[in-house]
Structure 1
Amino acid sequence: MFPTVVPCRAQSPRKRSRGSVDLLPSGAYRVRVYAGVDAVSGGRNDLIEIVPPGPRAQKQAEEARTRMLNEVDERRNPRTAATLDQLLDRYLMMIEVGASTKVMYERYLQKHVRPFLGRMKAGAIGPDELDSLYGEMRRCRIHCKSGQKLVDHRTPRAHECDGRCRPHVCRPLSNTTILHVHHVLSGAYRKAVRWRWVSVSPVAQADAPAPNPPDPQPPTPAEAARLIEEASHDPDWGALVWFAITTGARRGEICALRWERVDFDGRVVTISRAIATDGHRNLIEKSTKTHQQRRLAFDDETLAVLIDHRARAEEAAAQVGEELSPRAFVFSQAPDSMQPPVPSSVGQRYTRMAKRLGLDTTLQGLRHYSATELIAAGMDIRTVAGRLGHSGGGITTLRVYAAWLAEADQRAAKGIEARMPERPRSESAAERARRAPRLPSERVAAGLVQRIESGEFAVGEKLPSVNQLAAEYSVGIGTVYKAFELLRIWGAVQTQAGNRPVVLAPESRLEPEPVPEPTSAGPAEDVAGSPNRMLDFVVRRRGYVIADFSAEADTDDAAALRELLVGAVRRDGRDPSDLADFTMEIADPVRKERIRTFVAV
């Protein structure tokens, strides 16, 4: 007898559960959901969330699994577990900014972001972490730990601490720096959302610091007049400062200006390039800040300044056997003007000059001065924005090339001319030193004149020795020799080679010895009256200064000048066999004029 066969219904296969919920020894639940392949590493990308222990922990874990599965189905989940460091590295690799700007961003991130949030997952960072980061940046710029006994040293180099090294005092970062960091993080997370590394950007919900309110501090017209007068003691430097005031050009634009861009007939200068650094102290030429060129009309006085400045540049090039090229830089310090000036050096020189005058201003203040004076002269905002190269204020019209030659721009050139202080007229260095002694040698000479007039040194009496005066005034021997030369020009003493200066009678000092004017022989002519005299020397290698000193020499003795040049090159640790790369500028220390440029052949 056969067994009865009972047919059964076919069972449907069991549906596999998506994701897992695991109970941990601590009582917490770990929720794991598979989210595909990691977009960065190429490995498995799992979404993991830990639910803390509690009476409703299991139910909350199931709800978290359902929520994470819905995010995966709707493609709202992060596609990677990449850290913030990885996100920032990729973002910095892709952004298109200037080299120096990129270096600045990298430095900010390395000092203020990566140590705190760099190893966290980019998708795990929220607005609270960013707010805490910004708060730390407002607390202390070096992120010191409370309780640490730190010292703010005067220099990072090895040194003996003194009163300038003080206990650490926390100083916050400026709002501008924090805004730079916020800007970089915002751009990185915008890219992360596009790449679907994260679903939303936490930066949009973080509290960014308010930008500092604009507070331009341009010099007053009286201060501008003092700056121009002080700069005019060096005619080349005075031309640069005058040009910066009348055009309002940026520092890098001034350094990049070439003679081919100056139209003397049309009285127009074209601003199209700028000098900047690549972040490693190497100079590069690039487009302007707004990537546009602009043409600026200039006034009659600025035309005269540029004509005089070009004549000096042509003369300097001729002294080294070169002809001034149209591609030469307008404000170069090189003999042939083929090397651009360093923008940071220009700004530092201006700041030092302002500090000597007791003014707290920078080269950027000249742009503010130009803008405020143009507005005060009645110029419309669009024209002012155009002259300064601002992207706002009628930018569409300003992009039109012909608009730069409009009548309004011509009026702007006349307007700035009308509000410029009077251009300083020529005054010899000796006259200026007697009226307002500024240099150490001038102060020593002025002090000796006072002692002569008070009767301390009688008529016919010899002045103290050079070494004695150098020790008394705490200056070098060369400075005392320069002071003697000034006293001779002023008619206070009579000098003889090998002897100390002799005090002259008061009637002999009524008419100081006139300073001879240069003749047609040019700056190379010796105007001192004696072969050997104290001179100032500046040695340059390919336009950059390597030595600056004073010595007694004869400007017509080529062998002696060559020895001075070789000595300066050796002191700088360079090979004297490459003298062709070096030039030595010779200047009169009293008249502050360059006599000639010596080149060893």
Structure 2
Amino acid sequence: MTGHIRRRGKNSFELKFDAGRDPATGKRRIRYHSFKGGKRAAELELVRLVAEHDAGNSVDPSRVTVAEFFDRWDRDWASANVSPKTLERYRQIARLQIKPHVGNLAIQKLRPLHLADLYAKLGRGEKALAARSVGHVHRLIHRVLRHAAAWGVVTQNVAAHVQPPTVDETEISILTEDQIGRVLDHLQGRTLRPIVSLALVTGMRRGELLALRWKDADLDSGMITVARSLEQTKGSLRFKGPKTKHGRRKISIPPWMVAELRAHKARQQELRLRLGMGRAPDDSLVFAKWNGAPRAPHPVSQKFRMAMAALKIEGVTFHSLRHFHASALIASGMDVLTISRRLGHGSPVITLKTYGHLFSNTDARAAEIMQAAFAKARTE
């Protein structure tokens, strides 16, 4: 039996070995495992896996249940390749929405019909999930089964043959201009006001705002550099880089926002001096606790929800501020490529997929532009 290792990244390896021929099909069975650690440790782990298989201690794929494979995928791949926050969310989806329904089913007996039935069940009843949430379940199953197929546990990814529920466009809650005015007036003089204002004018994500440092905010040129994000898990907070190269970006801000940030910085410096902490260094956080420590994302969202409740504005979250930013740019007639870059999307396709229904509202503006263009041509 042969095997080899392939480096994926720093202290990350793919272990691969030949598990012999499948007695039923005659095809060669290749096993893949992910390993996090040094190269020598990866080599020893490969030796252990091969020895385990030779000794007959490996599990027969035909007996592996959906729940068992999810656990193995979690251990052998996800824990070494996805962020702690994403892994936490994957585990919650698996525990609450997947394992109770299809977890005991042998993974090789899983069929598209089982998944279609699962999605229908999740969307019914008093605790029905929104179509967007069912879509999250589908994407996780699809990702896990893709690995199951690559590792030779199943012959195909049956999730590829199932269409998740269509997301209703109304599920995206967008604040109106009148509501935005009420929100800003309500937050005037409160600690939440500057971060809400910056979210509105930049479309930055909550984690990106909370990771922003003063050295990332060039107030003289009115330019914000998005270089990292703050992530909260059950156990801790951590700063991380953007998921893609598009996540790192520069965003221009209007003069009124520059003035608001200058006032916020002055208040922050005044508080530090009163507490005997000295002036804040350039790498200090723009939106920090009184002692300069990071503000956790969840409490910020909770305070925003409380503000919305006080204003009797329903169905919006902190992320709705990002949606407002995108919708305002679309309504102004800005091109999708610029909007996509400003939002930090990996591709304009993502922007269109999320906000495509809003672009239809700009068609009247297109007609006005054509009218003006041809009117000018006729007069010249």
Q: Normalising by structure 2, what TM-score? A: 0.70
Distance 1:184 1:394, change over 3 A: closer
**What SS does the aligned partner of 2:63 have?**
coil
- Equivalent residue, structure 2, for 1:186: 142
Please report how far the alpha carbon of residue 255 of structure 1 lies from its aligned counterpart in structure 2 after TM superposition: 0.8
- Equivalent residue, structure 1, for 2:311: 357
- Are residue 255 (structure 1) and residue 214 (structure 2) matched? no
Q: Which has the larger radius of gyration?
A: 1
Q: 1:342 aligns with which of 286, 290, 296?
A: 296
- Are residue 284 (structure 1) and residue 269 (structure 2) matched? no
Q: 2:93 aligns with which of 105, 108, 127?
A: 108
Distance 1:359 1:281, change over 3 A: farther
Q: How does 1:517-596 map to 2 (within 5 A)?
A: none
In structure 1, C-alpha distance between the alignment counterparts of 2:256 and 2:152, rounded to whole Å: 60
In structure 2, C-alpha distance between the alignment counterparts of 1:345 and 1:119, rounded to whole Å: 37
In structure 2, C-alpha distance between the alignment counterparts of 1:218 and 1:211, rounded to whole Å: 16
In structure 1, C-alpha distance between the alignment counterparts of 2:115 and 2:333, rounded to whole Å: 46
Distance 1:136 1:45, change over 3 A: farther
Q: 1:368 aligns with which of 300, 323, 335?
A: 323
Contact kept? 1:182, 1:203, Cα under 8 Å:
yes
In structure 2, C-alpha distance between the alignment counterparts of 1:186 and 1:229, rounded to whole Å: 45
State the AA in 2 paired with 1:107: Q
Please report how far the alpha carbon of residue 252 of structure 1 lies from its aligned counterpart in structure 2 after TM superposition: 1.0
Q: How does 1:332-481 map to 2 (within 5 A)?
A: 332-335=288-291, 337=292, 339-360=293-314, 361-393=316-348
Q: Per-residue displacement from partner, 1:157-180 (whole Å, max 9, x unpaired)? A: xxxxxxxxxxxxx33222223222
Distance 1:224 1:111, change over 3 A: closer
Q: Which moved more, 1:90-99 or 1:73-82?
A: 73-82
Please report how far the alpha carbon of residue 366 of structure 1 lies from its aligned counterpart in structure 2 after TM superposition: 1.7
Distance 1:329 1:45, change over 3 A: same
Please report how far the alpha carbon of residue 380 of structure 1 lies from its aligned counterpart in structure 2 after TM superposition: 2.2
- Equivalent residue, structure 1, for 2:71: 89
Q: How does 1:495-534 map to 2 (within 5 A)?
A: none
- Are residue 118 (structure 1) and residue 103 (structure 2) matched? yes
Distance 1:394 1:275, change over 3 A: same
Contact kept? 1:182, 1:208, Cα under 8 Å:
yes
In structure 2, C-alpha distance between the alignment counterparts of 1:195 and 1:277, rounded to whole Å: 32
In structure 2, C-alpha distance between the alignment counterparts of 1:212 and 1:97, rounded to whole Å: 29
Q: 2:153 aligns with which of 177, 185, 197?
A: 197
In structure 2, C-alpha distance between the alignment counterparts of 1:178 and 1:268, rounded to whole Å: 38
- Are residue 128 (structure 1) and residue 110 (structure 2) matched? no
- Are residue 320 (structure 1) and residue 275 (structure 2) matched? yes
- Equivalent residue, structure 2, for 1:271: 226
Contact kept? 2:203, 2:322, Cα under 8 Å:
yes
Identity of aligned residues (%): 27
Please report how far the alpha carbon of residue 112 of structure 1 lies from its aligned counterpart in structure 2 after TM superposition: 2.8
Q: Per-residue displacement from partner, 1:159-205 (whole Å, max 9, x unpaired)? A: xxxxxxxxxxx332222232222222222222122221122233233
Contact kept? 1:253, 1:271, Cα under 8 Å:
yes
In structure 1, C-alpha distance between the alignment counterparts of 2:210 and 2:135, rounded to whole Å: 29
Structure 1 gaps, min length 5: 1-38, 47-68, 141-169, 396-601
**What SS does the aligned partner of 1:384 have?**
helix
**What SS does the aligned partner of 1:276 have?**
strand
In structure 2, C-alpha distance between the alignment counterparts of 1:207 and 1:376, rounded to whole Å: 31
In structure 2, C-alpha distance between the alignment counterparts of 1:376 and 1:212, rounded to whole Å: 20
In structure 2, C-alpha distance between the alignment counterparts of 1:377 and 1:127, rounded to whole Å: 43
Q: Per-residue displacement from partner, 1:213-252 (whole Å, max 9, x unpaired)? A: 3654322222211111111132x43222222211121111
Q: How many residues align?
A: 299
Structure 1 residue runs of 4 or more that deviate by more than 4 Å after TM superposition = 74-80
- Are residue 73 (structure 1) and residue 29 (structure 2) matched? no
Contact kept? 2:199, 2:321, Cα under 8 Å:
yes
**What SS does the aligned partner of 1:269 have?**
strand
Q: Per-residue displacement from partner, 1:20-43 (whole Å, max 9, x unpaired)? A: xxxxxxxxxxxxxxxxxxx99x9x
Please report how far the alpha carbon of residue 349 of structure 1 lies from its aligned counterpart in structure 2 after TM superposition: 1.2
In structure 1, C-alpha distance between the alignment counterparts of 2:135 and 2:187, rounded to whole Å: 36
- Equivalent residue, structure 1, for 2:266: 311
Q: How does 1:123-202 map to 2 (within 5 A)?
A: 123-140=108-125, 170-202=126-158
In structure 2, C-alpha distance between the alignment counterparts of 1:130 and 1:373, rounded to whole Å: 38
Distance 1:284 1:209, change over 3 A: same
**What SS does the aligned partner of 1:325 have?**
coil
Higher relative contact order (CA 8 A, sep 6+): 2
Please report how far the alpha carbon of residue 362 of structure 1 lies from its aligned counterpart in structure 2 after TM superposition: 2.3
Distance 1:84 1:261, change over 3 A: same
Structure 2 gaps, min length 5: 1-15, 31-59, 351-380
Q: Per-residue displacement from partner, 1:537-589 (whole Å, max 9, x unpaired)? A: xxxxxxxxxxxxxxxxxxxxxxxxxxxxxxxxxxxxxxxxxxxxxxxxxxxxx
In structure 1, C-alpha distance between the alignment counterparts of 2:133 and 2:300, rounded to whole Å: 24
Distance 1:305 1:190, change over 3 A: same
**What SS does the aligned partner of 1:72 have?**
coil
In structure 2, C-alpha distance between the alignment counterparts of 1:195 and 1:101, rounded to whole Å: 22
Please report how far the alpha carbon of residue 290 of structure 1 lies from its aligned counterpart in structure 2 after TM superposition: 4.0
Contact kept? 1:271, 1:294, Cα under 8 Å:
yes
Contact kept? 1:85, 1:119, Cα under 8 Å:
yes
Contact kept? 1:76, 1:199, Cα under 8 Å:
no
Distance 1:128 1:381, change over 3 A: closer
Please report how far the alpha carbon of residue 387 of structure 1 lies from its aligned counterpart in structure 2 after TM superposition: 1.7
In structure 2, C-alpha distance between the alignment counterparts of 1:110 and 1:276, rounded to whole Å: 22
Please report how far the alpha carbon of residue 305 of structure 1 lies from its aligned counterpart in structure 2 after TM superposition: 1.0
In structure 2, C-alpha distance between the alignment counterparts of 1:75 and 1:213, rounded to whole Å: 46
Contact kept? 1:45, 1:79, Cα under 8 Å:
no
In structure 2, C-alpha distance between the alignment counterparts of 1:171 and 1:197, rounded to whole Å: 33
In structure 2, C-alpha distance between the alignment counterparts of 1:206 and 1:219, rounded to whole Å: 34
In structure 2, C-alpha distance between the alignment counterparts of 1:124 and 1:241, rounded to whole Å: 49
Please report how far the alpha carbon of residue 80 of structure 1 lies from its aligned counterpart in structure 2 after TM superposition: 4.7
Contact kept? 1:105, 1:180, Cα under 8 Å:
no
In structure 1, C-alpha distance between the alignment counterparts of 2:187 and 2:321, rounded to whole Å: 14
State the AA in 2 paired with 1:284: R
Please report how far the alpha carbon of residue 309 of structure 1 lies from its aligned counterpart in structure 2 after TM superposition: 0.9
In structure 1, C-alpha distance between the alignment counterparts of 2:305 and 2:106, rounded to whole Å: 45
In structure 1, C-alpha distance between the alignment counterparts of 2:134 and 2:174, rounded to whole Å: 26
